[in-house]
C-alpha cells in the first residue's frame, strides 16, 4: 500500500488537521508494515492555475517554452503522486466555511481532462479509480455536514468526479465551542475507519 499524505493547514504545530492526518497515516502503517508514504505539505505553496498554466498544461503545446515546461512539470508531479497512491490522507481545515486555497490550488492542478477524468458520450468519467481517500476535516465553528460547511461536500464531489469514490471523513468540528467534544468525535470516526 502506498499512501499520499497531504497537509494544507497554515497553523503549523497548532493544526488539528495535521495531528489527525499524522494519526491516520500512523494507523494505516501499523496495519500494513510494508506501507510506504509520500508526504506533501501544500502550505509550502501550490501555484494557482492561471492563463499561463492554461496555455502550457491545458493546451499542451508541442514545443513548450522553458517556462511552460516548468508549469507542466509541476502539475505532472502532483498528478503522478495521486496516480501512484492507493490511499490519500488529506488534511482539510475549514477557513471561511470552505477548504484552504492551497488545497483548492492542488485540486485544480490535478483535475486534468484526459489525465484524471475524461468526457464520454455518457458524461464525465473519473480516471483515478480504485483509490481510497480519508479526509481529516477540522473546523473551529463550522459543523461538519451542515449548510455552513462548503468544504466536505465539495471534496467528496470533486474526488468522485476524478474517480475516487471511496471517501471517508474524520471530522473534528465546532472546536471553538467545545474542543474536547470535537476531538472526541474525530477519535470516534478514527476508530470506525478500517485500516
Residue 177 cell numbers, joined: 465551542
Counting Cα atoms < 13 Å in the Cβ hemisphere of 149 gives: 21
| CB-based contact 193:164 (threshold 8 Å) | no
Can you say which residues are annotated as belonging to the binding site for FMN?
Answer: 15-17
State the Cα–Cα distance between residues 114 and 140, nearest whole angstrom.
38
Give the closest residue to 3 by CA, choosing from 16, 31, 11: 31
Element (H, E) at 134: strand 132-138
Q: Name every residue whose Cβ is closer than 8 Å to that of residue 70 and which is 6 or more positions away in sequence.
A: none
Q: Name every residue whose Cβ is closer than 8 Å to that of residue 194 and which is 6 or more positions away in sequence.
A: none
Can you say which residues are annotated as belonging to the binding site?
Answer: 15-17
Amino acid at each position: 500500500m502506498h499512501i499520499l499524505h497531504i497537509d494544507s493547514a497554515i497553523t503549523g504545530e497548532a493544526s488539528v488537521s495535521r495531528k489527525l492526518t499524522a494519526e491516520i497515516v500512523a494507523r494505516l502503517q501499523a496495519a500494513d508494515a510494508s506501507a510506504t508514504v509520500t508526504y506533501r505539505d501544500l502550505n509550502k505553496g501550490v501555484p494557482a492555475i492561471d492563463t499561463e498554466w492554461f496555455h502550457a498544461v491545458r493546451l499542451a503545446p508541442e514545443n513548450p517554452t522553458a517556462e511552460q515546461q516548468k508549469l507542466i512539470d509541476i502539475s505532472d508531479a502532483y498528478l503522478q503522486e495521486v496516480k501512484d497512491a492507493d490511499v490519500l490522507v488529506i488534511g482539510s481545515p475549514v477557513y471561511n466555511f470552505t477548504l484552504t486555497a492551497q488545497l483548492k490550488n492542488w485540486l485544480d492542478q490535478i483535475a486534468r481532462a484526459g489525465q484524471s477524468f475524461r468526457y464520454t458520450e455518457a458524461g464525465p468519467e473519473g480516471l483515478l479509480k480504485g483509490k481510497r481517500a480519508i479526509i481529516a476535516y477540522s473546523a473551529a465553528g463550522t459543523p461538519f455536514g451542515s449548510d455552513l460547511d462548503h468544504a466536505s461536500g465539495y471534496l467528496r464531489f470533486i474526488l468522485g468526479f476524478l474517480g475516487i469514490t471511496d471517501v471517508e471523513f474524520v471530522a473534528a468540528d465546532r472546536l471553538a465551542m467545545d474542543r474536547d467534544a470535537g476531538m472526541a468525535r474525530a477519535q470516534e470516526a478514527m476508530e470506525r475507519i478500517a485500516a
